[in-house]
Structure 1
Amino acid sequence: MTGYIHWLRRAAFLAALVLSLNVPALPAQGQWRSQLPDARLVGAGEFTWFGFTVYTARLWSPAPRVDFNQPFVLELTYRRDISRDTLVKASLDEMRRVADVDPATLAGWEDDLRLAFPDVKAGQRIAGEYRPGQGGRFYLDGQLRQEIADPEFAKAFFAIWLDTDTRSPELRRALLGLNTERSR
């Protein structure tokens, strides 16, 4: 009997040890994972503004090369508190900059973005799921928050990060898994 108890204690210790290791299992992605169960991490990087890290970004896709003909998920983990108004304004400004969008369309998209984005706190995660020909879904900390059934909106929104005219070409290269070495 004492051998059995000793074995149980050892098994419990090993289980606790394995669970405490910092092994990157599947991150807590939440509901979007059920939509893209074969998605793999394509690339990751940080967005900084005036030397401050604003968020960490990760791009997930079932395909190794991401484009607008297949689904993907862009996941942002915020390092700072940011208001909904700031998120919406920055998104609209960048969409206007990288895509040719008329003001009336942008005004409608502003309403959609206000429903999709909350005020975020440091540590919170917003994931955007690109759905070709359908639009996009937005998740807050893994839970579906808003679906926007507009393919043009989705292309313009995700172009903020993936278009060649992005404001952060280094982040784009990192997300797409391209060579991120800097020239010296």
Structure 2
Amino acid sequence: MPRLFALLCLLVLPVAAPASQVQSLLPGAEQRGAAMFRLLGLPIYQARLFTPNAAPLDWSQDFGIELTYQRRISQSDLVDATLREMERMGNPPPPAAKFATCFQEVEPGDSYLAISRGPDRLEFRLNGRKTCDLRHKGIKRDFMSIFLGPDSRSARFTQALLGQ
């Protein structure tokens, strides 16, 4: 029985810990929505959107997105996929070298948190550790639209993440 309790505690910790991290980085933020992103039926990451007081998304306010990965993905694949999605959506991406400083390889259970700091700045954290402070004109909307924009890869995913 103690082993089962310990296992259950470990399963709960990854969900509870990022919420408190979001609170410290974005006071008043609460989870608005959550969604699992799948590719060809395979789960890639669980996403959670944090907005002020769990209010509907307002692009003029700061907010955060947390991605908890379900599989191993290399740094180069993360960077390349991000840049491709931004370009596909018509958003000018920053140089690949800027993203390379932000993204590292992820394993199942790793979580990235992106917090906006105005329209031109994003802070990225991997498992609670800051990886970069990315400054680029319009980066908030250009990057976050991958998950929240009208042209995202999955309308159902975006609606769930927006809490709709």
Which TM class, normalised by the smaller chain length?
Answer: 0.7 to 0.9
Asked whether the equivalents of residues 68 and 132 of structure 1 are also in contact (C-alpha less than 8 Å), the reply is no
Give structure 1 regions of 4+ aligned residues with deviation exceeding 3 angstroms: 22-26
Partner of 2:149: 163
Match of 1:172 in 2: 158
Q: CA deviation at 1:129?
A: 0.6
Unaligned 5+ residue runs, structure 2? none
**Counterparts of residues 2-17 of structure 1 (less than 5 Å):** none
- Bigger CA drift: 151-160 or 46-55? 151-160
Which runs of 5 or more residues in structure 1 are unaligned?
1-15, 179-184
Give, in angstroms, the shift of residue 143 of structure 1. Answer: 1.5
The alignment-based identity, stated in percent, is: 33
Once the two structures are superposed, what CA deviation does each residue of 1:50-69 show, in whole Å capped at 9, x if it has no partner?
11000100001114111311
Alignment partner of 1:49 is 2:39: yes
What is the CA–CA distance in structure 1 between the aligned matches of 2:105 and 2:12, rounded to whole Å? 31
CA contact (8 A) 2:119 2:139 kept: no
State the TM-score, normalizing by the size of structure 1. 0.77
Partner SS, residue 28 of structure 1: helix
The structure with the larger Rg is 1
How large is the RMSD of aligned CA atoms in angstroms?
Answer: 2.5
Kindly indicate whether the alpha-carbon contact (under 8 Å) linking 1:115 and 1:146 is maintained by their aligned counterparts in 2. Answer: yes
Normalising by structure 2, what TM-score?
0.85
* 1:78 has 2:64 as partner: no
23 and 136 in structure 1: CA distance in 2 versus 1, 3 angstrom threshold: closer
Residue of structure 2 in register with 1:115 after alignment: 101
Size of the aligned set, in residue pairs, is: 157
